[in-house]
A and B are shown apart, each in its own frame.
Chain A
């Protein structure tokens, strides 16, 4: 394993100042992505900045009803927080469907947002990969791509974004708070992750020197919520297809539905075409199936992952059915 310098910071401005001065730096929170990838030599930081002493460990209910989550809150703590379980079950369920008990104890909210793709070619420095080494080519497009994306892909990269939590947050609605050398700014959660396009190495809207300090969840949308994750084994596995659904009924019709998809797309995916197809429609199997068709109308399959289009549609229908049942309960 490569050597690096390690420095611990006690204050946010110290962390942010650090990144501006030096290149080749990485923050470390839980370490479950960073150390995994340093051991593989996929990430090569010269200096690692330990941010775990920063005062970003609280979950705070704001006056306007939104919920402000510190970037260092662990995945376990967030999933099991009273308010999250009550008002944002879609996020709690998404978190608990991810990784394992031990990893969730270690993993942070900020680190989860920043986790890297599980594309096996990205994880192998001997293979060409545009995301790891721009311009070398994509090994997955003509390789084994069973786990890869069918939505939001480009000719340069078809890797999925692996997070479950992020999919729940897109459905619930959220804002990221970033602190950098030029001060603080906010970004809508669903705009934060970027499509690969011609620059798959650019995965998010974090500028050099910036730190995620908080995620603020929109005020609760109520309704029925559900996160459904489909995968090769029942637990401790990434999604092949997943769907986060938040459904508000208006009588027997759907008032507003918010849908996000995981496992099938290059970023945590808001299924807005499906949402539009549901608005004002009767909450029936036929409406759910029409929405699922709309969500995948632009999907592009590669040699091994065509099944994800079928699986993704089924995930939407089932998640909507369960969320609607909960909205009625």
Chain B
């Protein structure tokens, strides 16, 4: 097991920006400042010791403390899927997860997707397929799309027909409307990963 990486600086506050208007409203800030606490997160197979506040959101910790910028913040409210990561192999929205509640689980982000699936070198088949099928325009939603797609392909309860896949992928919004190529890419990757199944 690789050594634990300690992150002594930086405290996981919510990103200013999207929520800045709320932070300025006096009622929004509770009187006492919460203590930070030490937690250990396992991200892409690596353990990280972190210092965070109880309200730190996993998405913010990934981006701001671990510098894993592949995972994107679109809406910050579960409405777009840009922040999708895997927790124990299942796709989840990291903008609605508390970092402190993720100790002891395996977190995988787009940076670790290929390796987590045993592709030590190069890309995950879903990443290859997105390249081949030109399944993005601006690319902002792409990491989230690929994280959902890879979990959906591995899920035996989700069929590979177009209707089932479109339904299973619907939580990932693409503002550029690259849906047709995204679906083609996912079907092609699914075919390669699962053969005839």
Binding site for B on A (CB under 8 A): 1-6, 8, 28, 30-32, 35-36, 38-41, 44, 46, 48, 50, 52, 76, 80, 96, 99-103, 105-106, 125, 234-236
Determine whether B2 belongs to the interface, using a CB cutoff of 8 Å to chain A. Answer: no
| CA A208 to CA B11, docked complex, whole Å | 34
**Contact present for B22 and A102 (CB under 8 Å):** no
| CA A41 to CA B77, docked complex, whole Å | 13
Tell me the residues in window 150-173 of chain B with beta carbons closer than 8 Å to chain A beta carbons. 151-152, 157, 166-173
**Which residues on the A side are within 8 Å of B54 (C-beta)?**
3-6, 48
**Contact present for A102 and B34 (CB under 8 Å):** no
Binding site for A on B (CB under 8 A): 13-14, 19, 22-23, 25, 27-30, 32-34, 53-55, 57, 76-78, 81, 84, 90-93, 96-98, 100-101, 148, 151-152, 157, 166-173
**Which residues on the B side are within 8 Å of A235 (C-beta)?**
166-167, 170
Q: Which B residue's beta carbon lies closest to that of A96?
A: B167
**Which residues on the A side are within 8 Å of B19 (C-beta)?**
1, 39
Most interface-central of A31, A50, A102, A103 (chain B CB within 10 A): A102
**Contact present for A3 and B93 (CB under 8 Å):** no
Of A5, A31, A48, A234, the residue contacting B96 (CB under 8 A) is A31
Known contacts being A2-B30, A3-B30, A3-B54, is A36 close to B96, with CB within 8 Å?
yes
| CA A121 to CA B178, docked complex, whole Å | 32
Of A28, A234, A236, the residue contacting B98 (CB under 8 A) is A28
**Contact present for B93 and A103 (CB under 8 Å):** yes
Known contacts being A3-B30, A4-B30, is A41 close to B169, with CB within 8 Å?
no
**Contact present for A102 and B30 (CB under 8 Å):** no
**Contact present for B76 and A39 (CB under 8 Å):** yes
Of B14, B81, B92, B100, the residue contacting A39 (CB under 8 A) is B14
Of A3, A32, A52, the residue contacting B78 (CB under 8 A) is A32
Q: Give me 20 other A-B pairs in contact (C-beta within 8 A), A32-B96, A50-B98 excluded.
A: A1-B13, A2-B30, A2-B55, A3-B29, A3-B34, A3-B55, A4-B34, A36-B96, A38-B55, A39-B76, A99-B78, A100-B172, A101-B169, A101-B171, A102-B91, A102-B148, A103-B93, A125-B25, A236-B170, A236-B171
Q: Which A residue's beta carbon lies closest to that of B91?
A: A102
| CA A103 to CA B168, docked complex, whole Å | 11
Most interface-central of A38, A52, A99, A103 (chain B CB within 10 A): A103
Known contacts being A3-B54, A39-B77, A100-B171, is A80 close to B96, with CB within 8 Å?
no
Q: Which B residue's beta carbon lies closest to that of A31?
A: B96
Most interface-central of A1, A36, A40, A101 (chain B CB within 10 A): A101
| CA A1 to CA B100, docked complex, whole Å | 15
Known contacts being A41-B27, A106-B96, is A1 close to B170, with CB within 8 Å?
no
| CA A251 to CA B183, docked complex, whole Å | 45
**Contact present for B91 and A40 (CB under 8 Å):** no
Closest CB of chain A to B172's CB: distance in Å? 8
16 contacts between A and B (CB under 8 A): A1-B19, A1-B23, A3-B32, A3-B34, A3-B55, A6-B100, A30-B96, A35-B98, A36-B77, A39-B14, A39-B77, A80-B157, A100-B81, A101-B152, A102-B171, A236-B170
| CA A31 to CA B55, docked complex, whole Å | 12
| CA A46 to CA B30, docked complex, whole Å | 8
**Which residues on the A side are within 8 Å of B28 (C-beta)?**
1-2, 41
**Which residues on the B side are within 8 Å of A105 (C-beta)?**
90-92
**Which residues on the B side are within 8 Å of A36 (C-beta)?**
77-78, 96
| CA A41 to CA B29, docked complex, whole Å | 9
**Contact present for B57 and A1 (CB under 8 Å):** yes
Closest CB of chain B to A236's CB: distance in Å? 4
Of B27, B33, B57, the residue contacting A3 (CB under 8 A) is B33
